[in-house]
Amino acid sequence: MNSDLVQIDARPITPSAGSHSAFLVVRNESQRLPYCVEYHRTLGIDRFFIVDNGSDDGTRDFLLAQPDCHVFHTSGSFAAANYGMDWINQLVESYGIGAWCLFIDADELFTYPHSEKVTLPAFCRFLDRRQSEGVFSLLLDMYGAGSIADAVYARGMPFLATASHFDRDYDFRRKFSLSPNREALLDTEAVGGPRLREFYPEFRDAPSWKQTVWRAIRRLRRHPIGAAVGIGKLQWGKGIAPDLTKIPLIKARPGLSWTSNHRCTQLRLSEITGALLHFKFLSDFHHRATTEAARGQHWDSGAEYVRYLSLLERDPNVSLFFSGSETYRSTEQLVGLGLMRTSTELDALAGCRVNLRRERRLRDHASPIAQRHLDSAAADVSACTITMPKSRGSA
């Protein structure tokens, strides 16, 4: 274990085989953590490994009071630890090998097709039977019906009670890659959502090559060669929109690790895709953007938060809600919109009886952006034959 991480709870850590563990890095998350932990505990997570990076708002006290949380402290640099991923990978290597491991932030809720009915352990057994090692997921930004400032969240309440809306228009496309043999979803990005609408409008209808060129410029600026020739001090590539996809769930093994918050090394991804419901845009967003822009500990010295803060200072009452906003109802809804992908086998495990008329209705109202994903989903549901499992435990 890296000496930067010091376990501060007194609970013994049992072997990982058969466990379903969540891994987080947190700083001042006392508001969101109670519900985040409870949600994932109910989903089927049986232990949490949480790195506290210098909280001073009661986060540590809350975590130490939880019977299933192993708490590690570090005062080290979040940026220098590859934005926390070095810490996460160290914990997974020490305590997660052979187990299913979920990497999330405190403002994220992991979901997958039929997660309302199929527990995480049952879902992981389903993945094991198909020799899958991970699940690709959309980072789905959630927001309230009014301004961001009006989305006042009460500690411990379901996040959806405060922010239940989302955008339906996302385009999933393959990024340029120098590794043609990589798993396709490892190089897939999602373009769209409220952040693109409000904070990065110049990229909303931009061709994919523009993002590719901007990323290349950013890499050059951040590379040691770029720093050596003075490019590192320039602003080139700082305005690029954030990545909205992640690989949050993996079956840990030696050699498999997260290379960033959004990607990992080569693995066998499931054909099933999930979503991380993302609750960044609550009433504390302005304060958090101000804090993180000043700290400069996030990606590219906090450039994303600098961008948020610039708009918030011009318009403190900015709202993400618009006429095209959807209200979250279920994972079935996300499948119908092409934002999540299921399979006939998973549908059968959930005991679902597919309503084809409703699926066609969803198709009729789908945006052109989601159309090709609906084609895949419709092919799955039209061939579905339902067999009720004897019990969830038999999955």
CA distances (Å), 42 to each of 49, 214, 251, 254, in order? 16, 41, 20, 29
pLDDT in tens, 186-196: 778 888 999 99
Q: How far apart are CA 13 and CA 309, in angstroms?
A: 41
- Residue 238's SS3 state is coil
pLDDT in tens, 305-321: 788 888 888 999 999 99
Provide mean pLDDT across the span 277-306: 80
Tell whether the model's pLDDT for residue 6 goes beyond 90. yes
Tell whether the model's pLDDT for residue 388 goes beyond 70. no
Q: How far is CA 78 from the centre of its chain?
A: 18
Provide the pLDDT for residue 390: 32
Q: Among residues 13, 14, 21, which one has the least CA distance to residue 47? A: 21
Q: Radius of gyration (Cα) for the chain, nearest Å? A: 21
Backbone angles phi, psi at 175, to 5 degrees: -80, 155
Cβ count within 10 A of residue 180: 7
DSSP annotation string for 36-51: HHHHHHHHT--EEEEE
Amino acid 177 reads: S
Backbone angles phi, psi at 69, to 5 degrees: -110, 125
Q: Among residues 53, 7, 45, 5, which one has the least CA distance to residue 26? A: 53
Q: Where does the pLDDT of residue 267 fall: very low under 50, low under 70, confident under 90, or very high at 90 and above?
A: very high
State the Cα angle at 330 between 363 and 123, rounded to 5°. Answer: 105
